[in-house]
Structure 1
Amino acid sequence: MDRRRAIKNLALVLGGVISVTTVGILIKDIIIPDNENSNVSFSATDEELLAEFADIIIPTTKAAPGAKAAGLGVFIPMMLKECYPKDLQQTFFTGMKEMEEKCQKEYNKNFTALSPEERTKIMEQLRTESLVDIKKPSFFILARDLTILGYFSSEIGCTQSREYLAVPGRYDGNADYKPGQKAWAT
């Protein structure tokens, strides 16, 4: 199974969790023309920022490492450049830069230098702004969706955050579920 098909299958499974915009992009059987492949470029600093951003959405817990450990700082730009059309790439990139400007304006620091409380406050502001016009894709919505998609399709997300059984055997629709047991990844 190729990566695009695997991601589309995962998008169907996570359909209730990620936004319509992201599901639409992942389900479409589009081939982005060569002249539309990527019009943004992410630096190592941008990847670090995205890793920290994603780690607020899915932090490390006692049970499993968070989004940063799962490599989301690299995953998010890769997905944007390979699977998203130019307009959404630009929306994401512009929104990320606007978030950095907001951090400078409010705290005189960049996002990665903020305290966890300050980062959370910025994220809450971005979330609130994204709810104003839910039909229009925003940096926050795209980043959140890619964080969820990337984390739960990563090795960490599938094997440590969820219950994993490499060879599940026969189907049992009445399998015992113990209180506190993780949800199944397979």
Structure 2
Amino acid sequence: MNRREALKSVAFLMGSAISSTTIGVVFENFILPEKEKNFVSFSVSDEQILSEFAETIIPTTASSGGAKAAGLGAFIPMIIRDCYPANMQKLFAEGLKEMQIKCSKEFNKDYLSISKEERNQLMSSLRDDAIGTNKAPSFFLIARDLTILGYYTSEIGCTQAREYLPVPGRYDGEAPYIKGQKAWATN
């Protein structure tokens, strides 16, 4: 199974956690015309910003690495360039720039310089803007969805954030569940 097929399968399984826009892109755009691939480019700084953005959504905990450890700073731009049509690539790149402008206006700092509390405040504002305007797709919704998708298809997401069973055995509908146990991930 190639990575795109795996992402498609995970997106289908995680349907309730990921917006219909992202699922639509994942299902519809596995074969983008070459002229639409890599329509936008992302700098190393952009990847660092996306890494920190994703880490705000899925932070490192005592039991598992977060989004940054899972490599989402590089994953998100790769999926945007390789899987999203040109118009959505442009929308995402413009949204990333708008987020940085908003950060500069509200905090007089660039995104990488603001505190964790300021990032949470900015994240709430972006979420409220995306939900309040019913603007779908939006930078925030796409970035959030790709963070969830990328994290839970990464090695860290499958082996540390979830209970990992490398070789599933037979189906056992009465398998014991211990309160507080992680959800299962199999390979």
Residue equivalent to 1:153 = 153
Distance 1:29 1:68 in 2: 26
Residue equivalent to 2:137 = 137
Moved over 6 A (4+): none
Alignment of 1:60-75 (within 5 A): 60-75=60-75
1:7-64: per-residue Cα shift (whole Å, max 9, x none)? 1100011100000000111122641111111211001000000000000000011111
Q: Percent identity?
A: 56
3-state DSSP of counterpart to 2:23: helix
Distance 2:175 2:92 in 1: 42
Deviates more, 1:99-108 or 1:127-136: 127-136
Distance 1:119 1:5 in 2: 33
Alignment of 1:173-184 (within 5 A): 173-184=173-184
Residue equivalent to 2:27 = 27
What is the TM-score with the length of structure 2 in the denominator? 0.96
Note if contact 2:95-2:138 (Cα within 8 Å) is conserved in structure 1: yes
1:124-182: per-residue Cα shift (whole Å, max 9, x none)? 11000000233520000000000000000000000000000111111111211011110
Distance 1:86 1:38 in 2: 8
What is the TM-score with the length of structure 1 in the denominator? 0.97
